[in-house]
Amino acid sequence: MSPDRRLGLLSLLGSLLLHGALLALLVVGYESPHRRTAPVARAPGPVIEARAVDEAAVEAELARLAAAEEARRQAEAARLAALRQARREEQARLEKARAERRAAEQARRREAAEARRRAEAERQKVAALEARRAAEQKRLAELAAERERRERERAAEEARRAEEARLAEERRQEEARRREAQRAREEAERRAREEALRQELAAEEARLAAARQQELDRLALRYREAIRQRVQRNWRRPPRVRAGDSCEVLVRQLPGGDVVSTRVTRCSGDEAFRRSVETAVLKSSPLPPAPRPELFEREIRFTFVVED
pLDDT of residue 101: 92
Q: What is the pLDDT of residue 1?
A: 64
* Structural domain for 238, as ranges: 219-305
Final residue of a structural domain among 192, 218, 244: 218
pTM of the model: 0.35
Find the angle CA(97)-CA(83)-CA(74) to the nearest 5 degrees: 155
Give the pLDDT of residue 199: 87
In this structure, are 213 and 116 located in the same domain? yes
Same-domain status, 124 and 144: yes
Q: Specify whether 131 is located in the same domain as 64.
A: no
Query: In this structure, is residue 33 part of a structural domain?
Result: no
Residue 150 included in any domain: yes
pLDDT, averaged in runs of 10, over the chain (308 residues):
64 71 62 47 49 75 90 93 93 92 91 88 88 89 90 88 93 92 92 89 85 85 88 90 90 92 91 93 92 89 86
Boundary (domain end) residue, out of 183, 218, 253: 218
Does 18 map to a domain? Answer: yes
pLDDT at 35: 47
Q: Is residue 82 part of a domain?
A: yes
Total domains, the chain: 3
Question: Which of 200, 218, 236 is the last residue in one of the domains?
Answer: 218
CA-CA distance, 4 to 76, in Å (whole number)? Answer: 9
Nearest by Cα to 12 from 65, 82, 55: 65
Domain CATH code at residue 297: 3.30.1150.10
Residues 64 and 70: their CA atoms lie apart, in Å, by: 10
Q: Are residues 214 and 280 in the same domain?
A: no
pLDDT given for residue 211 in this prediction: 83
DSSP string, 13-50: HHHHHHHHHHHHHHHHT---GGG--------SSPPPPP
Residues 125 and 171 in one domain: yes
Question: What CA–CA distances, in Å, run from 248 to 103, 282, 305?
Answer: 25, 15, 9
Q: Do 67 and 123 share a domain, yes or no?
A: no
**What's the rounded Cα separation, in Å, for the pair 230 and 273?**
17
Examine residue 46 and state whether it is found in any structural domain, yes or no: no
Q: Are residues 181 and 247 in the same domain?
A: no
